[in-house]
């Protein structure tokens, strides 16, 4: 399997800051037992980045949390 690069992920996410938050959040979900959206034998954070690069995970209002860890109201 080819290496995942930040440039691959930045084609799908608008900024590095957003990428870090999205990958961290998805990595935590994977560690809690959510199924992977791509085939990968890597650790959770690498799998999360692979999912972002593949376009399976994106930033949406539903996955933006406030500073207290609670989802923001729209």
- Count of domains for the chain: 1
Long-range Cβ pairs for the range 41-47 (8 Å, 24+): 46/4
pLDDT level of residue 31 (50, 70, 90 thresholds) = very high
- Reported as a single tens digit per residue, the pLDDT across 44-55 is 999 999 999 999
Q: Yes or no: say if 13 and 23 are a contact pair by the CB < 8 Å rule.
A: no
The single-letter DSSP state of residue 67 is T
Expressed as residue numbers, the domain containing 20 is: 6-63
Q: What is the CATH number of the domain that holds 30?
A: 3.90.940.10
Is the pTM above the cut of 0.75?
yes
Give a yes or no: residue 38 inside a domain: yes
Q: What DSSP string runs through 12-70?
A: TSS-HHHHHHHHHHHHHHHHTTPPPSS---S-HHHHHHHHHHHTS----GGG-B-TTSP
User: What percent of the chain shows pLDDT beyond 70?
Assistant: 82
Residue 74 is predicted with a pLDDT of: 46
């Amino acid at each position: 399997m080819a290496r995942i690069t930040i440039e691959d992920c930045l084609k799908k996410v608008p900024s590095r800051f957003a990428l870090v938050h999205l990958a961290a959040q998805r990595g935590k979900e994977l560690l809690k037992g959510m199924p992977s959206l791509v085939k990968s034998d890597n650790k959770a954070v690498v799998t999360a980045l692979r999912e972002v690069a593949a376009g399976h995970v994106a930033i949406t209002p539903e996955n933006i949390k406030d500073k207290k860890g609670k989802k923001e109201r729209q």
